[in-house]
Amino acid sequence: MDISKLVAIDTHVHAEISCCQPPDLFGKEFDDAADKYFGTVLKRGRRPTIPETIEHYRERNIGFVMFTVDCEANLGRRRIPNEEIAEFAQNNPDIMVAFASIDPHKGKMGVREARKLVEEYGVRGFKFHPTMQAFFANDRLAYPLYELIAEYRLTAVFHSGHSGMGSGMPGGGGLRLKYSEPIYLDDVAADFPDMNIVIAHPSWPWQDQALSIALHKPNVYIDLSGWSPKYFSPALIQHANTVLKRKMLFGSDFPLIQPDRWLEDFGQAGFRDEVRPLILKQNAVGLLGLDAAQ
């Protein structure tokens, strides 16, 4: 990845359609509810394939981190294979970085899979969604996975705050927001100082918790995905402009939010000129070790 040629690095991009298995329409109502919640406008009337996403970002000279969400145990919905995403990243290293997602409920088999993905496929991190996976981040069932991630000094991304998934569905689709309160990540950050932690999204209604943890724990970052920057709280922008300027990361939540829209709104949200390059690219370069990979 030639960092000098990239406009930005989007640290939060979802794989939506597999090229090696048919779509699993079980639970499609979650996608429909999320599209309604975010006001998503999808080209071609459907979610993009991985190759289409690569093309989208390459046209814009934006690097990106891609992952799926493994919520098979809680939702019963088949995930996109981690190996598929990793192979696309191996074939498109100029623009793409692969993260994996493994449901912590998979126990030792999950840890075996994670090691293989790191050693044989070169994944650089892992995505967790406590609300969709139905676990608290500091639940000891997840610690064997964290131990492996820390062993390789990789990154773990955790959804935080309100969830667009399930919003508006009867009973929220059975999903519980309590699992994604950021405070549980304070235990994880203390117990695994060698694992980088990214608190994904403005963590409403617990934003101050996320800011405090990122300020207190050197291994904790915040990605700004899932919201248009014009809706960021004054506290979030203030901290991003000052004491946490090297802890904030650009993320869109593509395809629910398009990078074009996010970047346009970011330019008008009150971020300082000297801080914008850090958020858009340089903080991610350091976090992902992309500078060492040159």
Q: Is residue 272 part of a domain?
A: yes
Decide if 19 contacts 84 (C-beta within 8 A). yes
CA distance 199 to 118: 21
Per-residue pLDDT of the chain (294 residues; tens, 9 = 90+): 889 999 999 999 999 888 888 877 777 888 888 888 888 777 777 889 999 999 999 999 999 999 999 999 999 999 999 999 999 999 999 999 999 999 999 999 999 999 999 999 999 999 999 999 999 999 999 999 999 999 999 999 999 999 999 999 999 999 999 999 999 999 999 999 999 999 999 999 999 999 999 999 999 999 999 999 999 999 999 999 999 999 999 999 999 999 999 999 999 999 999 999 999 999 999 999 997 554
Q: Is residue 154 part of a domain?
A: yes
Structurally, how many domains does the chain consist of? Answer: 1
Domain with 255 in it: 3-288
- pLDDT for 12: 98
- pLDDT for 292: 58
Q: Is residue 49 part of a domain?
A: yes
Q: Is residue 99 part of a domain?
A: yes
Q: Is residue 70 part of a domain?
A: yes
Q: Is residue 293 part of a domain?
A: no
Q: Is residue 276 part of a domain?
A: yes
CATH code for the domain of 163: 3.20.20.140
Q: Is residue 68 part of a domain?
A: yes
The whole-model pTM stands at 0.95
Question: Helix H segments across the chain?
Answer: 28-38, 50-60, 72-75, 82-91, 107-121, 130-133, 143-151, 184-191, 207-216, 234-241, 259-266, 276-277, 283-288
CA distance 168 to 46: 21
- pLDDT for 34: 87
